[in-house]
Structure 1
Amino acid sequence: MNARMVSRNASWSSLKTVRRTAGSLSKRLLSVRPSKLPAGHRACPETRTSRRSQGDLTNFVRRSGTDHPHRLPSTAPRTERTDMTAGSQITVLGLGDMGSAIARTFVARGFRTTVWNRTTARTEPLVEVGATAAPTAAEAVAASPLVVVCLLDGTAVDQVLASVASAVAGKTLVNVTSGSPAQARANERWAREHGAEYIDGKIMGDPPYVGTDHIMFPFSGSPTAYETHEPTLRTLGGIAYHGEDPGAAAVEFMAQVAFSYELLIGFLHVLKLVRSEGFDVAAFTERAAGSLAVFPSLLNSMAQAVKSGEYGPDLGSLDVQAALMNDMIGHRAAQGVEAVRMREIKDLMDRRIAAGHGDQGFSSLFELLPPQA
């Protein structure tokens, strides 16, 4: 058999492998009917972190398949007053764009709102609409049983907490400043040592959406404090309680934002590949976006496989999928497009197959991901 015939046979074999893999993936995706999507999921999510850029990304996360039970109605703020909230006292520490939006929402809902900011000029617009400005953070904390902390970062939180240590006993602190799970747990220990209850929260959305269902606040920490103040917190928008561990809300936030970044950087590399071949990236994206509606079911099935350790052939067996990887890597290399992720996938597939698990699916690669450093 001459070299040309060998090359032709190899190409035909590769083509058949590609078709089998693509067919397996297509069947898997097409087997998921849009009608099976959880309520509130949208087939084509809108893609809409400083606090401003975090809001942009987390708005995308909010709208792209998070399993929260509320809907996304009008962005009109909730301005109605209720007997439950009228006259209630609350303090907001920190009046950046987000802190100001939070304070303004409380004022609009009839709360007696005390505000404090290191730069006092930031308090003036809130005073004009009915808030009371406190000269010090400690005096602001002393004014209310519930204190919402919304500052730039963890360092600012540490500084402000140190300044209010003598005033927090008997209060509930709700800290919605961005930070890690470890920081949330440290803040909870500090609060407990100073006689206060602690709820940690994160913000998934932009300041204009505070007070509407277009923003999400995951919370965690003291269950007693959360139950007591849930009606007040619900004033801010969609809320969800993730348990007693004060770090749980930060885990939820970090994981959802990380998921988005991982997805989006991969998307940008794919666009680079499409453009390198001279094709329209916008037209490609419109077609690709049509497949997103089926991914919630696929992701849920993969998560269940990871949880149980029982790995079925989700996208087809690894034996079939792996045969496609050389073509994927070669295509990228030929176009000068980064192939690090494809090489990682191929390495994991090859190792999994070598260990005798070629009949399992893509989710089984989880078993080979490196342990925590």
Structure 2
Amino acid sequence: MTTGPEPTPAALPAPVTVIGLGNLGRAIAGALLRDGHPVTVWNRSPARAEPLVARGATAAATVAEAIAAADLVIVALLDSPAAHEVLTGAAGAVGGRALVNLTSGGPEDARALAAWAAQHGAEYLHGAVYAVPQTIGTAQSSVTYSGSAAAHRRWRAPLDLLGKGTFLGADAGRASGYDVAVLAGMYGMLGGFFHAAAMAKAAGISTAELTPRLVSWLTDLFPALATFAEEIDSGDYTTGESSLAMNATGLETIIRASQTQGIPASTLAPLKALIDRQVAGGHGSESLARVAELLLSGP
């Protein structure tokens, strides 16, 4: 009786190290454990590793020990200085590893760590997470990456466990560039919402009553961002459909109403100052988007 060839065993999930066990790091380690990956973890406060150890993770005593345990090392620390300190303190262990840094920071922070990693024989991939920790590993999570294309190709399967991944190119700072810009827009919107809520409350309108109307207005406004984007990228602000002078007048009315209600205009005054500078410079008939030129030119 003849038999066929022995079946090829399925590849086992690769070991992964997770550095940093804040809310994001714990969620990342948990998603990897659920998929069967051997996970080694390290955190400054070892007690944070205990729930993950109970689920099968291995706690490393040092950063170098943790890095040595896997070819894929995911870093999720508080901020860029912390990531730099922790990684450079274990420089002798990173050679041959893929360092995937999901720590928030600016583009130059990512580029500096990418250069450092290359000097020490490691591949570097920077990631920006668009999710709250509890949605890591679900369809509500997405991550953008930039840096080493080879590292992204090799480790795409475990990385995709964290959320829908998008690779943005070889510039390690590109993912962070998108991230901090998106977050700046988000916080600007939240500042506007909080100001609107205060003005509504001062006028006897509940925030719950205000919010549907505000959301509807903002939804209708969003297409204008594409027009503003074209103007900013081209540097041509002559269309003037939403002119600086018109907006200066409108914003002055809103600020006066806010102050009359006892609500400081601290979230609106900086924008008003930028608009006023453009109007004073002779650009009142041009588009509101021209305000971006002042920000691009610095103080």
Q: TM-score, normalised by structure 1?
A: 0.69
**Equivalent AA in structure 2 for residue 133 of structure 1:** A
Match of 2:59 in 1: 133
Letter in 1 for 2:125: I
1:94 to 20, 26, 34: 20
**Are 2:145 and 1:222 equivalent residues in the alignment?**
no
CA distance in 1 between counterparts of 2:11 and 2:102 reads 21
Q: Does the CA-based 8 Å contact 1:313-1:362 persist in structure 2?
A: no
Higher alpha-carbon deviation: 204-213 or 341-350: 341-350
* Deviating more after overlay: 105-114 vs 358-367: 358-367
Question: How far apart are residue 163 of structure 1 and its match?
Answer: 3.7
Deviations 1:209-262 (A, max 9, x none): 111122222222112212222222111112222322222222222222221111
Residue 355 of structure 1: how far off its partner (Å): 4.9
3-state secondary structure, aligned to 2:155: helix
Is 2:35 aligned against 1:120?
no
Percent of counterpart pairs with the same letter? 38
Structure 2 counterpart of 1:362, from 272, 288, 293:
288
Once residues 65 and 275 of structure 2 are traced to their aligned partners in structure 1, the CA distance between those partners, rounded to angstroms, is 60
Work out the CA distance in 2 between the residues paired with 1:180 and 1:270: 30
Cα deviations by residue, 1:48-84 (Å, 9 ceiling, x for unpaired): xxxxxxxxxxxxxxxxxxxxxxxxxxxxxxxxxxx98
Instruction: Please tell me whether residue 292 in structure 1 is matched to residue 218 in structure 2.
Output: yes
Select 1:236's aligned residue among 162, 170, 178: 162
Q: Deviations over 1:184-227 (max 9, x none)?
A: 22211221111101111233322221111222222221122122
Structure 1 position 156 matched with structure 2 position 82 = yes
Q: Which residue of 2 aligns with 1:334?
A: 260
Residue from 315, 321, 324 that aligns with 2:250: 324
Match of 2:99 in 1: 173
8 Å CA contact 1:105–1:211 kept in 2: the answer is yes
Please state how far the C-alpha of 1:182 moved relative to its aligned partner.
2.5
User: 1:335–1:172: structure 2 CA closer, same or farther, 3 Å change rule?
Assistant: same
- CA offsets per residue over residues 139-172 of structure 1, 9 Å max, x none? 2222211111122333432333234222211111
The unaligned stretches of length 5 or more in structure 2 are 1-8
User: Which consecutive residues of structure 1, in runs of 5 or more, have no partner in the other structure?
Assistant: 1-82
Measured in 2, the distance between the counterparts of 1:84 and 1:210 equals 26
The whole-number CA distance in structure 2 between the counterparts of 1:169 and 1:98 is 25
Which of 122, 134, 148 is 1:196 aligned to?
Answer: 122
Match for residue 110 of structure 1 among 12, 36, 47: 36
Q: 2:180 aligns with which of 254, 271, 274?
A: 254
- Taking structure 1 as reference, are residues 337 and 144 closer, same or farther at Cα in structure 2, changes over 3 Å only? same
Report if the CA contact (8 A) 2:33-2:57 is conserved: yes
CA distance in 2, matches of 1:295, 1:84: 52
Aligned residues of 2:114 and 2:172 also touching (Cα < 8 A): yes
- 1:325 is displaced (CA, Å) by 4.3
Superposition CA RMSD, Å = 2.7
User: Cα–Cα, structure 1 residues 122 and 310, in superposed 2: closer, same or farther, change >3 Å?
Assistant: same
> Equivalences for 1:56-75 in 2 at 5 Å?
none
Question: Counterpart amino acid of 2:94?
Answer: V
Contact 1:314–1:363 under 8 Å retained in 2: no
After alignment, is 309-318 or 196-205 more displaced?
A: 309-318
Distance 2:240 2:127 in 1: 35
Matches within 5 A, 1:278-289: 278-289=204-215
Question: What CA deviation, in whole Å up to 9, does each residue of 1:70-122 have, x standing for no partner?
Answer: xxxxxxxxxxxxx9863322211222332122112112112222223333343
| Mapped partners of 1:245, 1:226: distance in 2 | 13
Matched to 2:190, the amino acid is: L
CA distance in 2, matches of 1:338, 1:285: 20
Equivalent residue, structure 2, for 1:62: none
In the other structure, the counterpart of 1:273 is 199
Q: Write the deviation string for residues 1-29 of structure 1: whole angstroms up to 9, x where unpaired.
A: xxxxxxxxxxxxxxxxxxxxxxxxxxxxx
